[in-house]
Amino acid sequence: MKRIFIDSSVFFSAAHSERGASRELLLMGARGEIILVISTLVLEETRRNLLEVSSEMAVLFDLLLAAIPFEIAQPTKEEVVLAAEIVELKDAPILAAARKARTDLLVTLDKKHLLGKPHLAEFAGMLIVAPGEEITHHL
């Protein structure tokens, strides 16, 4: 079964919208079709960003957490420092967590710092893709 690391941009999008590829990934995880992997940082960032929208979004977030059997990957400080040598510091914990989890894909909406960067995919040992049509080719 495919293991997919999702970052907070994907998790936020999935919680915020009833449609779309990000939501479909969460539904696939809930149905047991894929294994979704996140980190505690992804949880914290997503919760914080959803609370900025509304407290009701935080309730939905809690329901998603209860319904989906996420795996949690927690990189060490050393792993984050190593990742920070090749990616923006704010994205280093995400790249390090995905690498540590050895997932099949890292799925993100971050076009500026993560998508389209072959050296990051090489470092992580996996493809870095956006949700949507691109990901269906890899599942």
Question: By percentage, how much of the chain surpasses pLDDT 90?
Answer: 78
CATH number, residue 120: 3.40.50.1010
> Could you report the per-residue pLDDT of 82-139, keeping only the tens digit for each?
999 999 999 999 999 999 999 999 999 999 999 999 999 999 999 999 998 667 766 6
Residues 6+ apart with CB under 8 A from 114: 7, 87, 91, 94, 95, 106, 108, 120, 128
What pTM, to 2 d.p., does this model score?
0.93
Cβ count near 58 (within 10 Å): 18
Could you list the residue range(s) of the whole structural domain that residue 94 is in?
3-136
Overall domain count for the chain = 1
